[in-house]
Each structure stands twice: as C-alpha cells, then as structure tokens.
Structure 1
C-alpha cells in the first residue's frame, strides 16, 4: 500500500515506489520534482526563497533555498542509487501572490530553480509556473506523473 509523504515549506523528501509525495498550497514557493524512471525514485523540494547567500540567519536551512535545496535533494537521490544522467525534473509554483512592482519572489524562485537545474545538467521536462494562484502537488514515484491541483484553475497532470 502506497504511503503519502507530506513535504512542508522549506522541506524535501525522497519516495520509493509505490509511495507518493504531496506538497500543499504552494504560492510563490516552487516545488521541484526530480525523478529517476529506472529506479522509480522521486524527490520533491518545497523551495521558499531563491538564494541562501541573501539570508541573514545562521545556520541556514538548506531546504529553504533553491541554490542549496536542489543540490541536497540530488545528493540524497544519488545516495539512494539514482544516477545523475537519468534524473529529470518537473517544476510548479512560483505564483505572483502580491501585486507589487518589479519581479515577484515567485518569478525569482522560478529563475533560481531553472539556473540550478541547468548547472546540474538536469533537464526540466515539464513546468506549470507563474500566474496568481496557489497549487497543491502530488508526485507519483511509480509513474513520475505530477498532479497539480488548484482551487480556481482546476487539476492537471504533467
């Protein structure tokens, strides 16, 4: 029987088939879903902010920031037997939740996630980002499918 593992804000988890990862109510946060199809291993990071170098807090929670969370998630997946060249990513979230001038925190998060995945040579195979609505993510370790639920924008699978 599959377990549902909840990934909170500034957290990450790795799931093995047949388990699922779920992250609730992403607004400007970005959910980074990384998958190894051969081993059916799924990882999900719920990223709050783009860059740990801008933090005034010590010690830094590495799961909070795009630059450190993705590295930690990939390292954990590799420790579980995944191979970097088999990893693919799906991303969702990064909404503009507040009407403020300039780039929103959601846009900055999405850009930081894309840059980090590019630097690690992990392809983004699907994305559902931006807008002004929250999302709940359900990542299936069996299929690699990412279900995205939104109260006013319906559900989709990528």
Structure 2
C-alpha cells in the first residue's frame, strides 16, 4: 500500500499516485473528499468553519473555511487534470461536540455541514455519501483506488461508505 497522506486541521492535500488520504480530529470539523471516479485524482480538506467572512484575520490556512477550501480543492484537482463534470464528493464529521442550549453559534458542526453542501452544490459536484452529525468525533481514510471512505467514530466503531 502507498504511504498515507495525513491532512491536519484547516489543511488540504492531494493524492498523486493513489496514496490514501487521512485526517483525524473531526469533531465539529468536516472532512471533504473530492475525487474523479476511475482516475488517480483525489483531494481532501479538513474544514473547521463555514465561512471566511467570520474571520478578522487577513491570512489563514487555505482549508479552514468551507467557502474557500472547496473551490480551491476543486480548482487544484482540475489544474492537475481532473474533469470538472466527473467530480464526486464524500463528507464526514460535523458532530455537535458541545451542548448548544439554543445558541446558534455553538452549532458549528451543523453549520459546517450546511456550508459544505452549499459549496458542492454551487460547483455542481455530486455528494455521493456522507456520515455527518451525532456527538462523536471521527477519523477518516479515503482510498482513491477504490473510492472507499473508512470512518472510525469514537465509541461507535468503523464503517465504510
């Protein structure tokens, strides 16, 4: 098996030679995998927040916000030879890690999932599978050769989508 590429929080990475992509620590964060079926083109982003508009900083990691990371991930895959119309996506994460008590700002996981889906829809990328919500963190591993996304959820075990 090829060496696994690990993606940190707010990062984006690409698989060049069918290397698996992995990220951990997905609580309210969302792992987004965009890939082209039948090719080696795949990338992953570890998204922390829905929109860069909430940031007061001018500079941030490219994968931090859904509205920045997903267009960047898509553009780079196309630059590397992927066909826009053949791109697909899988997502995982977006858990509710803290009691919200009706506070909308505490519902970060849910807001992240909504923002990710909006970006994928705007870019006409089909979301073919997801494992989102709940209250437990996740670690995910995407295999570009099989397009299988293995999800290990704390206290709940492992599944493949």
Instruction: Please state how far the C-alpha of 1:31 moved relative to its aligned partner.
Output: 0.3
Cα distance in 2 for residues equivalent to 1:17 and 1:129: 28
Question: Tell me, which stretches of 5 or more residues in structure 2 are unaligned?
Answer: none
Instruction: Please state how far the C-alpha of 1:62 moved relative to its aligned partner.
Output: 2.6
TM-score (norm 1): 0.96
Does the 8 Å contact 1:40/1:143 carry over to 2?
no
Where 2:98 maps in the other structure, the secondary structure is coil
Cα distance in 2 for residues equivalent to 1:61 and 1:7: 12
TM-score (norm 2): 0.94
Match of 1:57 in 2: 57
Q: How many correspondences in the alignment?
A: 158
Cα distance in 2 for residues equivalent to 1:157 and 1:102: 33
CA deviations over 1:25-69 (Å, ceiling 9, x no partner) = 200000001111132221100000000011101123331100000
Question: Tell me, which stretches of 5 or more residues in structure 1 are unaligned?
Answer: none
Where 2:63 maps in the other structure, the secondary structure is helix
Match of 2:29 in 1: 29
Q: Could you say what the CA RMSD is over the residues aligned between the two structures, in angstroms? A: 1.1
Where 1:149 maps in the other structure, the secondary structure is strand
Within 5 Å, give how 1:73-92 maps onto structure 2: 73-92=73-92
Does the 8 Å contact 1:42/1:140 carry over to 2?
no
Where 1:64 maps in the other structure, the secondary structure is coil
Match of 2:133 in 1: 130
Instruction: Please state how far the C-alpha of 1:99 moved relative to its aligned partner.
Output: 0.4
Match of 1:120 in 2: 123
Does the 8 Å contact 2:12/2:62 carry over to 1?
no
